[in-house]
Amino acid sequence: MSDLISGEQFDDLFRTFHSTAFRLETQGVYNETVEREPIRRFVAGEAPDDTWLAPWTDNVRRATSQGRRFQRVRLLTEPLTLYLRFELDLALRANLPAGEEIRCITASKAADLDLPVGTDFWMFDDAQVGVMRFGDRGMLGLEMIDGTDHVEQYRRWRDLAWSSAQPAEQWAPLVQ
């Protein structure tokens, strides 16, 4: 595995892309420390406090106001994990209003389409791909992929996932 991009270097990718940032999100559970309290509140039925997400949604608003796009396809497990119910609720409440375009696809349909189930990645401007690497406590960083042939495979997966997925709003009834 090559060196991983994380921290400020990772954040810079979201501030400096020119036209599109796309993510394929395939895990049923992510172990991000920052999400523990928001998930606890969700499970307890308490009012959400999304201040922890503000740096992300603020950046999305800035970028989309400049004509740049954030797109995401989220694979949904069958049945939906508690974590994915939380993520879908968060997407409907915060990410979509900030300007992200989010679609969902079932994991079984993704597998039928030979999408890389189990592999999350970000693609920036159709040219840079960062495969997300995870550890026990969440994301470790992005492994940047280079080479035209490799990047082209990720473009195909992106296009197939996006065209086969449905808008996140259609999945709202699963949050309950």
Give the DSSP letter string of 34-94. Answer: GGHHHHHHHHHTPPP-GGGGHHHHHHHHHHHHTT-EEEEEEEE-SSPPHHHHHHHHHIIII
CA distance 108 to 117: 9
The predicted structure's pLDDT at residue 149:
81
pLDDT at position 2 is 63
SS3 of 96, please?
helix
Structure-token match 């082209």, residue found: 152
- How do the pLDDT tens digits run along the chain, 176 residues long? 567 888 899 999 999 999 999 999 998 888 788 999 999 999 999 999 999 999 999 999 999 999 999 999 999 998 998 999 999 999 999 999 999 999 999 999 999 999 999 999 999 999 999 999 988 888 888 999 877 788 999 999 999 999 999 999 999 888 87
Nearest one of 73, 87, 70 to 26, comparing CA atoms: 73
pTM of the complete model: 0.93
Structure tokens at 150: 């490799």
